[in-house]
């Protein structure tokens, strides 16, 4: 079965971990750690305005004077949001992760964000698809399939 972004979100659950733009980086890291996620979606007045990831922390931590307890997310988040459509197939999502060199992707449907997928979520879906295709191919070339084929051909 070819999975779409929406299918993967259904399997995973569409819950996004969020925080406000005026929160500190430290608060975001605390919430991310509690939820065991690598990113957090930044909200301002009920609207998604950015994303903060573990990679953002890595780059910011090297800046002189950076203090996660006082640094505001709104000043440090990635505000250029990269999205994919809910109907995009898993292989296309994987291409977007690789091509853009990102690890998190907001999923959009009818102009609304419906969830967030990680590269791991999409990799898992792609591996499941490959496993299902391999099982189907193995079934097609099994001895039983061959024996049934011989009987069908003999009846013709």
The residue ranking higher by pLDDT, 152 or 83, is 83
pLDDT of res. 69: 95
d(CA 103, CA 80): 14
pLDDT of res. 145: 66
The residue ranking higher by pLDDT, 86 or 142, is 86
Under 8 Å between Cβ of 48 and 42:
yes
What are the structural domain ranges in the chain?
5-155
Domain 5-155 has CATH 3.10.580.10: yes
Using one digit for the tens of pLDDT, what is the confidence trace for 11-32?
888 789 999 999 999 999 999 9
Using one digit for the tens of pLDDT, what is the confidence trace for 96-118?
998 999 999 999 999 999 999 99
Please list, in sequence order, all residues whose beta carbon lies within 8 angstroms of the beta carbon of residue 128, skipping any fewer than 6 positions away: 3
Under 8 Å between Cβ of 41 and 49:
no
pLDDT of res. 72: 94
Under 8 Å between Cβ of 27 and 19:
yes
């Amino acid at each position: 079965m070819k999975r779409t972004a929406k299918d993967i979100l259904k399997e995973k659950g569409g819950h996004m971990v969020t925080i406000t733009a005026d929160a500190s980086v430290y608060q975001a890291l605390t919430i991310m750690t509690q939820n065991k996620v690598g990113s957090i979606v930044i909200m301002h007045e009920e609207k998604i305005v950015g994303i903060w990831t573990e990679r953002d922390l890595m780059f910011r931590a090297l800046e002189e004077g950076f203090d996660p307890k006082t640094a505001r997310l709104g000043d440090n988040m990635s505000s250029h949001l990269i999205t994919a459509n809910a109907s995009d197939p898993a292989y296309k999502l994987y291409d977007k992760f690789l091509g853009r060199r990102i690890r998190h992707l907001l999923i959009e449907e009818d102009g609304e964000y419906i969830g967030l997928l990680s590269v791991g979520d999409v990799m898992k879906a792609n591996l499941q698809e490959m496993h299902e295709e391999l099982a189907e191919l193995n079934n097609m070339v099994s001895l039983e399939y061959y024996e049934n084929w011989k009987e069908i051909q003999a009846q013709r």
